[in-house]
């Protein structure tokens, strides 16, 4: 008797086996980052960069995600998640994964990349392998530059075990008093204010007598070899390096805070010194008695200890990208000026160039039509920055309103807003003080903006303002015209060179009116729930996205073509995943481009046969969000700030905008086609959650997204 075939009606889409645990999926993403460091096709210094990114990502993951799961496990709670994995089981899975991958990371550096550097004249040496002249230099450097900064902290009945700051690198030092024979323990913090690697000056920049590009040692070794300066008259028995990571996810009780800015300043201090220790990294050579003493004093169990063979805190490997070895790096990319924003060349009376160039009036340009910009291929400075700068100095501009989630410490955008306030324009800046790990920077800018006369708003209680929007109000004759920028990325000139992001400039009245309503929602008391064009979270975005997916289902079930292509950073929201499964069951073709976390399982028979998932990892960080719904041959395209995560759809203020100009739609389709066609940087996801990197077939040309798009924009620039 044959077994009856299951129909879609027989499949329970709530079954835990159809969902991947969020934390486990993130570990898979970071493993793909690590693989870029292992890939021999990646230039050497870029491989070091990916090791540094892997470490930096892992630091934040421990501080926020793993620490949160630890608290759940300790409290004995089991939050309901679609995958039904308990907190205790999650911790077991994560530790098992990380022990192996962290070991692989350090083996890669110590056994492969560190020796490879020497082939190019770069030597990260051990202190004791240096020449006598080099050690004399380091001793002098220690006395003049390092010793004054150090503070040894002893541990005895009158000196309790010191509190240690988050992510601090420390030396555990054992000393013996020769007069009493008593052994003591002390801690010496490796100052983060000093460079991690100490290089030799030019006369001593040699290896075995031959000149080299760079030679130096880790800062902690310079300190360790000169501990006698810190403990004169004592006998140094041993010294061993360790590093701690603290829980950094402190909730701010906004309803109880009289002043949100002050409350968040207090939270930052808590994060540095008060969070429980969720990870202890230490040198594998540390003796058991020292390790056990540290674990006891720091109140850390063995499952939170990671023993490292080699250099601790590989995040500092970013340093090596500063070396003058361009052949070991990706070819630098110089962002292009968008065609419609290219400088205007002034001509003299005879029609010859006067060699004077200036940007076009961006408002006049926008009156001719919308502009879509794509960073880092196209210049942030010549587009977004220029937009705000011109608005700040244009006498016809009456008001500028902007949302700031993350920006750089020397932001030209903020300086332009200050200039606008000085020019007596109405300037409103919504500064998101709760942008994790950027709180201190945002507080500093909030204060400077307020001092300059800018109206600074901190957002809405209970919601993070994550949207990327600018509204410029301009007086033109007898009417008021509004100009907008709606983007997928932060107003940060530094990350705009590394993150792929899109932004729409427009003066369409419907968008201007929508942004006016959105800013009123953010700065005042408003129950605004209807928008003309914008999809706004937490008000309309989820409902509209679900309606668009349902429409594709209706097309497929009605004999038409149902198709969805969606690009985002993370796909986590249970309701959206379940709806995508329903779409697949109805015959809708779904292509998902998800850089990071993906809790959906593609290719499951009867559940997600029609869903494909790829992740693209490379020189640029894929950050843009693009959503395309085929609509039976009349496709609709959207870009915006929101991923399909519950927090983005329900607990953040987000804005997603339709792209309607046919030329701009063509640009978006080119981007999506390039990503889906990638055979170099793209990873294909299997139903079990694993990823396999695509490789060119024999005789097939390599098609890496970032290289292909660079060529595309260069050709367009050259006409």
Q: Which residues are catalytic?
A: 466
Each as own residue / partner, the long-range contacts of residues 643-648 (CB below 8 Å, 24 or more positions apart, any chain) are 643/568, 643/569, 643/570, 643/571, 643/572, 644/545, 644/566, 644/568, 644/570, 644/571, 644/572, 644/573, 644/576, 645/570, 645/571, 645/572, 645/573, 645/597, 646/572, 646/573, 646/574, 647/464, 648/466, 648/537
Cis previous bond, 538, omega within 30: yes
Neighbours of 159 (CB within 10 A): 12
**588 and 564 Cβ atoms separated by less than 8 Å:** yes
Whole-number Å distance between alpha carbons of 523 and 392: 21
Strand partners, 372: 504
CA 607 to chain CA centroid, Å, is: 32
Smallest Cα–Cα separation from 121: which of 219, 52, 20, 214? 214
- CA torsion through residues 567, 568, 572, 575, sign: negative
**121 and 44 Cβ atoms separated by less than 8 Å:** no
CA 186 to chain CA centroid, Å, is: 37
Take residue 495 and report the two structure tokens written for it: 């990350």
Q: Which residues contact 656 (CB under 8 A, 6 or more apart)?
A: 534, 535, 536, 541, 625, 627, 638, 639, 640, 641, 642
Cα torsion at 596, 600, 605, 609 (round to 10°)?
A: -60
Backbone angles phi, psi at 182, to 5 degrees: -85, 135
Alpha helices in 168-287 (DSSP H): 219-224, 260-273
204: left (phi > 0), else alpha (psi -120 to 50), else beta?
Answer: alpha
Whole-number Å distance between alpha carbons of 43 and 621: 17
- CA torsion through residues 329, 331, 333, 334, sign: positive
Whole-number Å distance between alpha carbons of 489 and 53: 19
Take residue 228 and report the two structure tokens written for it: 């006698």
Each as own residue / partner, the long-range contacts of residues 667-671 (CB below 8 Å, 24 or more positions apart, any chain) are 667/372, 667/374, 668/372, 668/502, 668/626, 668/628, 668/637, 668/639, 669/628, 669/637, 670/712, 671/374, 671/624, 671/626, 671/709
Secondary structure letter of residue 304 according to DSSP = G
SS3 assignment, position 549: helix
Whole-number Å distance between alpha carbons of 347 and 357: 10
In which residue are the tokens 């030019």 written? 202
Strand partners, 537: 654
**199 and 130 Cβ atoms separated by less than 8 Å:** no
Whole-number Å distance between alpha carbons of 120 and 316: 20
Size of the chain, expressed as the number of residues it contains: 719
Whole-number Å distance between alpha carbons of 166 and 297: 16
């Amino acid at each position: 008797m044959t077994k009856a075939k299951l129909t879609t009606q027989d499949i329970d889409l709530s079954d835990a086996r159809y969902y991947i645990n969020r934390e486990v999926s993130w570990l898979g993403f970071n493993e793909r980052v690590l693989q870029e460091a292992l890939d021999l096709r990646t230039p050497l210094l870029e491989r070091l960069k990916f090791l540094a990114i892997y470490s930096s990502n892992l630091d934040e993951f421990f501080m926020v995600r793993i620490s949160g799961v630890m608290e759940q496990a300790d409290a004995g709670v089991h939050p309901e998640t679609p995958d039904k994995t308990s907190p205790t089981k999650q911790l077991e899975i994560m530790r098992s994964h990380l022990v192996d991958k962290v070991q692989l990371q350090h083996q890669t550096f110590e056994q492969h990349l560190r020796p490879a550097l020497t082939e190019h004249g770069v030597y990260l040496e051990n202190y004791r392998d240096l020449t006598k002249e080099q050690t004399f230099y380091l001793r002098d450097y220690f006395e003049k530059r390092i010793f004054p900064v150090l503070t040894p902290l002893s541990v005895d009945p009158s000196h309790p075990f010191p509190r240690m700051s988050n992510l601090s690198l420390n030396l555990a030092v054992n000393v013996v008093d020769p007069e009493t024979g008593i052994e003591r323990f002390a801690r010496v913090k490796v100052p983060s204010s000093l460079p991690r690697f100490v290089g030799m000056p030019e006369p001593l920049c040699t290896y075995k007598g031959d000149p080299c590009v760079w030679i130096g040692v880790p800062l902690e070794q310079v300190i360790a070899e000169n501990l006698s300066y810190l403990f004169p008259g004592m006998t140094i028995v041993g010294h061993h390096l360790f590093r701690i990571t603290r829980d950094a996810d402190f909730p701010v009780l906004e309803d109880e805070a009289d002043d949100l800015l002050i409350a968040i300043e207090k939270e930052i201090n808590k994060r540095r010194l008060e969070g429980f220790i969720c990870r202890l990294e230490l040198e594998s050579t540390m003796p058991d008695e020292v390790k056990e003493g540290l674990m006891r004093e720091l109140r850390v169990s063995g499952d939170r200890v990671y023993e490292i063979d080699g250099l601790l805190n590989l995040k500092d490997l970013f340093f090596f990208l500063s070396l003058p070895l361009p052949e070991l790096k990706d070819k630098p990319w110089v962002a292009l000026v968008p065609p419609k924003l290219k400088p205007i060349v002034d001509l003299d009376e005879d029609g010859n160039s006067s060699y004077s160039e200036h940007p076009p009036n961006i408002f006049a340009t926008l009156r001719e039509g919308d502009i879509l910009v794509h960073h880092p291929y196209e210049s942030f400075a010549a587009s977004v920055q220029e937009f705000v700068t011109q608005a700040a100095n244009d006498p016809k501009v009456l008001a500028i309103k902007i949302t700031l989630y993350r920006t750089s410490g020397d932001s030209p955008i903020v300086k332009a807003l200050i200039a606008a306030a000085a020019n007596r324009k109405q300037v409103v800046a919504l500064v998101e003080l709760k942008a994790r790990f950027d709180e201190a920077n945002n507080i500093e800018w909030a204060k400077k903006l307020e001092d300059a006369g800018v109206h600074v708003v901190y957002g809405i209680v209970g919601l993070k303002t994550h949207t990327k929007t600018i509204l410029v109000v301009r007086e033109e004759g007898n009417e008021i015209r509004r100009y907008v920028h709606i983007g997928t990325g932060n107003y940060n000139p530094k990350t705009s060179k590394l993150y792929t992001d899109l932004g729409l400039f427009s003066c369409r009245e419907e968008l201007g009116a929508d942004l006016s309503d959105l800013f009123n929602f953010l700065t005042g008391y408003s129950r605004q729930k209807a928008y003309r064009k914008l999809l706004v979270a937490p008000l309309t975005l989820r409902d509209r996205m679900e309606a668009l997916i349902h429409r594709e289902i209706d097309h497929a079930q009605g004999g038409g073509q149902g198709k969805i292509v969606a690009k985002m950073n993370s796909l986590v929201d249970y309701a959206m995943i379940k709806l995508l499964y329903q779409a697949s069951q109805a015959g809708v073709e779904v292509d998902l481009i998800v850089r990071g976390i993906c809790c959906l399982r593609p290719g499951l028979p009867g559940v997600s046969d029609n869903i494909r998932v790829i992740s693209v990892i490379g020189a640029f960080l894929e950050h843009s969000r693009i959503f395309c719904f085929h609509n039976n041959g009349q496709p609709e395209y959207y870009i915006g700030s929101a991923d399909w995560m519950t927090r983005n759809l329900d607990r953040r203020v987000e804005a997603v905008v339709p792209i309607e100009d046919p030329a701009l739609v063509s640009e978006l389709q080119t981007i999506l086609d390039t990503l889906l066609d990638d055979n170099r940087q793209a990873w294909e996801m299997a139903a079990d959650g694993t990823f396999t990197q695509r490789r060119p077939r024999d005789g097939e040309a390599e098609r890496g997204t970032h290289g292909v798009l660079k060529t595309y924009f260069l050709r367009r620039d050259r006409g």
